[in-house]
Every structure is written in C-alpha cells, then in structure tokens.
C-alpha cells in the first residue's frame, strides 16, 4: 500500500471521500498503545482483507446483473478519458444493437472527466477521493448502486491516475485494462511491474504522437510481456481513430463470452 501519499497511513486522518452526496470516513482508530509501524501493518491487512471481501461481493453482483465491469487504470494524462469518450460514441452507434455505457469516474478532485463522458452519451458518477490515490470496492459498490445500470451494459470504472495503489485494490471488475501512452517512457512496465502483471489488456495510446516522441513500440511490447506474458496488447490513437476497431472487437468478444457464460445452466 502507499507509504508516501498518506492514503494508508494511520497517523494521517484522510479527508472524507465523496460519492455523489455519500461521504466515507477513512480514518483509522487502532489501540492507543500500538507502535506506528505495527498500526500501519495492521491497517494494511485490515483494509486489504475488507476490500477483497467487498470486491468478491461486487463481482458476484455485476455478473448476476449481466454487467461487463472493466477497471481502467493509468498514469495521469495517458488519454484514458478520451478513449472512453470515443468508445461510448462508437458503442452507441453500433447497429442493430447499441450498447449502453455507465461510468464510475475516479479523481482526487473536480468532476471534469465525468462531465466529458456525460457529453459523450454515458451516465456517470464522479468519485472524488480527496487525499486518496485510488478507488476501492466500497466506493465502487455505492457508485454502481447510484448508477443502477441495466443488464448487458458496460460498466467502465476509470480509476484515479496512478500506476501504484490502484493495482493493489480489487474492485470486483471482470477485466483490468491499463492504458499507457507514447508520451511516457517505453520502460514504464519495468518501473511499475505490479500494475502490468495484474492487467488483462494493455492499450498503448496516442499513436498519432509517436513520431514526436522517443518511444519504441517494440521495446514497450517486450517490456509488457516480460512482466506479464499473458497480457493482450493493443496500439491505438483514441483521438485519430487508429486501432479503435481492434479495441471495439476486443470488447465485442468479451461481451459475447460473458453472454455465453450466463447462458450456461
């Protein structure tokens, strides 16, 4: 868990987290005679254990409701909101079967990105985490209840921009999609191994800027697969449209796979 930003430090009282008008108090009250290191370790275990239980409940609820839940993770500025906007627009235009997208938007402050995906045509709930640098299963459960998506919808969870803590918190998602961009280093998978090891799909975004960046696609691919040989990799430009057909085909495949799974007795 994060030891630098304070989101897991029992000696720092975190600001309340807001999900719409819902407030969650993340402060920790342990025994007064605990040493700081002991209390920190106890908090980490308690938080992760509780989150794992809630994530399992979320996963069961999402699957029972026929929702495809995807946790989108990245560093700030990777373009994952633009990717979501283009995805929402293209899925809405899908014929003869348009697909509704519902978005849980995580940021420390503002509702700027939630406003963007609403303009693109999706319903969205903004979660502002204050000092916290990641979403957790309890936040996602409350936001999903507020959204109340119908069966056979895509539930897109756009996590706080951070390649460290979000990797450690299961939200109940079916898939984890990590978005990086060519404006970042091609060694990013080596620097943040846990994020890439936990990913089902890695999207390399901003292909339209490749010629202006010192970024080697082949090196990045090798680094991703060195961390996670099972990871699928797509290369896109969400802004220009390159690779979006492949991304939509990936979503179609996983939606069909989920529907076949639900149809089994």
Provide the mean pLDDT of the chain.
87
Q: Is residue 15 scored above 90 in pLDDT?
A: no
- pLDDT the model gives residue 44: 73
pLDDT tens-place string over residues 129-139: 998 899 999 99
- Residue spans per domain, the chain: 17-263
- pLDDT the model gives residue 9: 53
**Which pLDDT band, with edges at 50, 70 and 90, does 111 fall under?**
very high
* Long-range pairs for 89-95: beta carbons < 8 A, 24 or more residues apart: 89/120, 89/121, 90/244, 90/248, 91/154, 91/248, 91/251, 92/121
Residue closest to 151 by CA, chosen among 211, 114, 102, 103: 102
Q: Quote the CA–CA distance of 245 and 65 in Å, as a whole number.
A: 27
pLDDT tens-place string over residues 112-169: 999 999 999 999 999 999 988 999 999 999 999 999 999 989 999 999 999 999 999 9
What's the fold here for domain 17-263? Answer: Rossmann fold (3.40.50)
Q: Quote the CA–CA distance of 175 and 172 in Å, as a whole number.
A: 9
| Sign of the torsion angle spanned by Cα atoms 72, 74, 76, 78 | negative
Contact between 204 and 233 (Cβ < 8 Å): yes
Q: Is residue 181 scored above 90 in pLDDT?
A: yes
- pLDDT the model gives residue 4: 42
């Amino acid at each position: 868990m994060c030891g630098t930003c304070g989101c897991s430090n029992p000696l720092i009282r975190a600001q309340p987290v807001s999900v719409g008008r819902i407030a969650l108090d993340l402060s920790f009250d342990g025994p007064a005679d605990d040493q700081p290191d002991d209390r920190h370790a106890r908090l980490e275990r308690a938080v992760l254990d509780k989150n794992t239980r809630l994530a399992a409940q979320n996963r069961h609820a999402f699957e029972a409701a026929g929702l495809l839940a995807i946790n989108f993770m990245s560093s700030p500025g990777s373009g994952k909101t633009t990717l979501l906007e283009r995805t929402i627009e293209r899925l809405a235009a899908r014929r003869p079967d348009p697909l509704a997208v519902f978005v849980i938007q995580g940021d420390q402050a503002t509702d700027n990105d939630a406003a963007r995906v609403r303009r693109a045509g999706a319903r969205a709930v903004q979660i502002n985490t204050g000092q916290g640098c990641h979403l957790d299963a309890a936040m996602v459960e409350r936001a999903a209840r507020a959204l109340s998506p119908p069966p056979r919808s895509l539930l897109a969870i756009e996590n706080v921009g951070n390649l460290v803590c979000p990797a450690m918190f299961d939200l109940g998602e079916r898939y984890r999609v990590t978005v990086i961009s060519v404006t970042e280093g091609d060694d990013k998978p080596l620097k943040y191994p846990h994020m890439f090891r936990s990913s089902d799909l890695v999207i390399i975004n901003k292909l339209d800027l490749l010629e202006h960046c010192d970024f080697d696609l082949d090196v990045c691919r090798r680094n991703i697969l060195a961390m996670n040989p099972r990871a699928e990799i797509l290369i896109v430009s969400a802004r220009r449209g390159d690779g979006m057909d492949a991304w939509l085909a990936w979503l179609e495949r996983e939606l069909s796979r989920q529907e076949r799974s639900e149809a089994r007795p």
